[in-house]
Amino acid sequence: MSTVIKNGTVVTHDMSFEADVLVEGETIAAIGKNLDGDTVLDATGCYVMPGGIDPHVHLEMPFMGTYSTDDFDTGTRAALAGGTTMVVDFCLPQPGQGLLDAIQMWDNKSTRAHCDFSFHMAVTWWGEQVFDEMKTVVEERGINTFKHFMAYKGALMVNDDEMYASFQRLAELGGIAMVHAENGDVVAELSAKLLAEGNTGPEAHAYSRPSQVEGEATNRAIMIADMAGVPLYVVHTSCEESHEAIRRARQQGKRVWGEPLIQHLTLDESEYFDKDWDHSARRVMSPPFRNKKHQESLWHGLQAGSLSVVATDHCAFSTDQKRYGVGDFTKIPNGTGGVEDRIPLLWTQGVGTGRLTPEEFVAVTSTNIAKILNCYPKKGAIREGADADILVLDPEKEKTISAATQASAIDYNVFEGMQVKGLPRFVLTRGQLAVNDGELQSEPGHGKFVKRSGNGPVNKALSSWKELTSPRPVERTGIPATGV
Ligand SMILES: NC(=O)NCCC(=O)O
Ligand SMILES: [Zn+2]
Ligand SMILES: [Zn+2]
């Protein structure tokens, strides 16, 4: 069975051109003029691009005494509805739990995925078992990215010595370090002080996490990664201080990437000052939404290339779950949804305004992260042999975002009421039609795990450079006799 997508404009990260795309089975078989197939999808007036990759989601995440509501079934369905064809979740070992054990749990959770997925591993504690199992995780399980939480003290947070040890191990294994960069000690102090002063509402969540805590932690992680000789990926970069650290590091030749979220690009801190407790609590996430100055900085970073990827950190809690924090903002489960809305919102507010070109849009929603994760060109590419993960985006199709019509399982949407122009006409996941003329028809269980080997091109380059520039003893002649 073959499918041909006809009459569209193919957009890749570096060029656009008119061509048909032929899909045979699960992969792209040909790109060219006048192609034929068993099924014809008409892409007249549309852009044909690599399906979105969201490298930061938490599906059924155990967190703050509950589990995030969207699981691999509803979450990946929502992804496809919004033009995303691959998501990457985080395996979170409990303190003392082995990494391979945690992967087993995530394998069990992900059997109903509608689109392809992969995992990052989180290093939530440190010991010999973690050190040993990291090798198996990279070399046998195909996970080359390891996240470190510098926040959530007393829960997921690791300290600098643990982070440095883990980063060094990753450098040996050809892995990539990831960080949630917020100074967890300072956040804990500020939170306790705010609560003691009677600041209990959701706005205090934002007060407890000023941009300095993120800027400081980002700088610290960059320096530790540089000393360990490992590439670094900074998740949910939300502010100028953090962006500035990443920008500077990249200008110095350090291998660092920054990931802004669609939420931070389009929503701001005024959400926390709403008189409705539920409205504000639903938008509690870490880092919190910032002011317009920070927002502009993130857009500029995407334009300049100092920020590389737009993600969502999709971690959707229902209103009832958010209410665990009535009377104490530190108990509001942190997280917001976005996986379904990232592509239409970024197209509308990025390409629609002229901030981004269509090619830059493809780069930051798909191709850049496929390269970073070392699964390019299987993913993130429209080219022969690539997986047929394809988004046909109709730039004229519009909607108003509403919880009433979303695929996500939660009872609200943080983007409620926002107008978007640029929606999927068709979405293919490994050749299977998941969105047909705007209608979702995906299947649970279709999604497969994507293995990603270590030692990608950036790891190889960085380790060569570190080897070349490593400290060496000076060869000397005429060493004086000891002076005693
Ligand atoms: N971001 C957030 O608030 N929740 C999800 C967990 C994390 O990524 O920190
Ligand atoms: Zn985080
Ligand atoms: Zn996250």
Average pLDDT over residues 348-366: 98
How far apart are the CA of 151 and the centre of ligand 1, in A? Answer: 10
ipTM above 0.95, yes or no: yes
The structure's pTM equals 0.97
Q: Which atom of ligand 1 is nearest to the CA of 284?
A: 3
Q: Name the CA radius of gyration of the chain, rounded.
A: 23
- Cβ(237)–Cβ(307) under 8 Å? yes
pLDDT at 478: 86
Over residues 50-59, the pLDDT tens digits come to 999 999 999 9
Confidence band (pLDDT; 50, 70, 90) for 483?
A: confident
Average pLDDT over residues 185-196: 98
Q: Which domain holds residue 116?
A: 51-385+454-464
Q: Which atom of ligand 1 is nearest to the CA of 151?
A: 9
**What's the structural domain count of the chain?**
1
Ligand having the closest approach to the CA of 88: 3
Which residue, 163, 141, 166, 140, is CA-closest to 151? 163
Name the strands in the sheet holding 439-440, side by side, starting at the edge strand that comes first in the sequence: 16-18, 9-11, 47-50, 390-400, 419-429, 432-436, 439-440
Ligand having the closest approach to the CA of 315: 1
The answer to whether position 424 is within a domain reads no
Coil/strand/helix, residue 226:
helix
Coil/strand/helix, residue 153:
coil
CA distance 210 to 205: 9
What's the one-letter identity of residue 405? T
Which residues neighbour 89 within 8 Å (Cβ) at sequence distance 6 or greater?
Answer: 57, 58, 59, 61, 72, 106, 110, 117, 118, 119, 120
How far apart are the CA of 313 and the centre of ligand 1, in A? Answer: 6
Cis amide bond preceding 287, omega within 30: yes
Q: Whose CA is nearest to atom 1 of ligand 1?
A: 286
pLDDT at 481: 86
Average pLDDT over residues 392-417: 98
The answer to whether position 253 is within a domain reads yes
Over residues 308-324, the pLDDT tens digits come to 999 999 999 999 999 99
Q: Is the pLDDT score of 175 beyond 90? A: yes
Longest dimension (CA), the chain: 90
Over residues 421-448, the pLDDT tens digits come to 999 999 999 999 999 999 999 999 999 9
pLDDT at 123: 98
In the chain, the percentage of residues whose pLDDT exceeds 90 is: 98
How far apart are the CA of 33 and the centre of ligand 1, in A? Answer: 45
For 365, which DSSP code? I
b/e code 118-127 from CB counts within 10 Å (16+ = b): bbbbbbbbbe
Mutate which of 149, 235, 315 for ligand 1 pocket (most atoms within 8 A of beta carbon): 315
CA distance 284 to 282: 6
The answer to whether position 25 is within a domain reads no
Ligand having the closest approach to the CA of 287: 1
Confidence band (pLDDT; 50, 70, 90) for 484?
A: low
- Cβ(367)–Cβ(13) under 8 Å? yes
Confidence band (pLDDT; 50, 70, 90) for 112?
A: very high
Q: Whose CA is nearest to atom 9 of ligand 1?
A: 286
The answer to whether position 22 is within a domain reads no
Over residues 10-22, the pLDDT tens digits come to 999 999 999 999 9
CA distance 363 to 368: 5
Ligand having the closest approach to the CA of 61: 1
pLDDT at 482: 83
pLDDT at 155: 94
The answer to whether position 319 is within a domain reads yes
The answer to whether position 355 is within a domain reads yes
Higher-pLDDT residue of 398 and 482 is: 398
Average pLDDT over residues 471-481: 90
Q: Ligand 1: list residues with CB < 6 Å.
A: 58, 180, 285-286, 313, 315, 334-335
CA distance 80 to 440: 8
In the chain, the percentage of residues whose pLDDT exceeds 70 is: 100
How far apart are the CA of 57 and the centre of ligand 3, in A? Answer: 6
Over residues 58-100, the pLDDT tens digits come to 999 999 999 999 999 999 999 999 999 999 999 999 999 999 9
pLDDT at 404: 98
The answer to whether position 15 is within a domain reads no
- Cβ(43)–Cβ(424) under 8 Å? no
Q: Which atom of ligand 1 is nearest to the CA of 149?
A: 9
The answer to whether position 440 is within a domain reads no
Q: What's the number of CA atoms in the CB half-sphere (13 Å) around residue 476?
A: 6
How far apart are the CA of 90 and the centre of ligand 3, in A? Answer: 8
Q: Which tokens sit at 269?
A: 């801190």
Following DSSP, what letter does each residue of 167-190 receive, concatenated? HHHHHHHT-EEEEE---HHHHHHH
Which residue, 57, 54, 118, is CA-closest to 84? 54
- Looking up residue 102, the CATH number of its domain turns out to be 3.20.20.140
Q: Which atom of ligand 1 is nearest to the CA of 58?
A: 5
Average pLDDT over residues 327-345: 98
How far apart are the CA of 282 and the centre of ligand 1, in A? Answer: 13
Over residues 219-248, the pLDDT tens digits come to 999 999 999 999 999 999 999 999 999 999
